[in-house]
Amino acid sequence: MKQFILIFIGGGTGSILRYAISKLLNSPSKGIPYGTLVVNCLGSLLIGLLLGYSLKNQSLSSNQLAFLIVGFCGGFTTFSTFSYENTMFLKSGDFISFIGYTTASLILGISFVLLGFWIVKFF
């Protein structure tokens, strides 16, 4: 039960922060939803850093990992919003934005997880 509460608190915190960043950076006139892209990249980097640190040092408990990765990062990052935004690109016929946003999100997300692992490994 304790992990459920930790995930709930972490998820709520991450969601509020994601919402604030998205409100700041997303604009209907910009086309690409930069706020979503930024939070997904930052969340991916944070997951890489946390998992890398946890594997290297064996110092984070399962409760801490649940709070930070499942809760906070899970609430902070957003696949559902990414999917919705891509659906809107397709519905409007904006295939260039769809391809660019999807490709950038996937490549950057995976790259930022790997960067997080690399940072922990070498520092």
**pLDDT recorded at residue 56:** 95
Domain contains 99:
yes
Helix (H, G, I), strand (E, B) or coil at 27: coil
Structure tokens at 40: 């997904």
Q: Over 80: is that where the pLDDT of 29 sits?
A: no
Specify whether the CB–CB gap between 36 and 82 falls below 8 A. Answer: yes
For residues 85-112, give the mean pLDDT. 97
Residue 13 counted as an annotated binding residue: no
Spatial separation of the C-alpha atoms in residues 27 and 50, rounded to whole Å: 31
Q: What is the dihedral of CA 78, 49, 119, 116, to 10 degrees?
A: -20
Domain contains 32:
no
Q: What is the rounded average pLDDT for all residues in the chain?
A: 96
Q: Over 90: is that where the pLDDT of 31 sits?
A: no
Structure tokens at 3: 């992990």
Structure tokens at 51: 């998992």
Spatial separation of the C-alpha atoms in residues 38 and 36, rounded to whole Å: 5
Domain contains 16:
no
Token pair 């006139």 is found at 29
Domain that holds residue 94: 80-123
Spatial separation of the C-alpha atoms in residues 109 and 48, rounded to whole Å: 10
Domain contains 37:
no
Residue 103 counted as an annotated binding residue: no
Distances (CA, A) of 30 to 25, 47, 55, 98, 120: 9, 28, 39, 14, 35
Domain contains 112:
yes
Domain contains 106:
yes
For residues 60-88, give the mean pLDDT. 96
What's the structural domain count of the chain?
Answer: 1
More confident residue, 28 or 62: 62
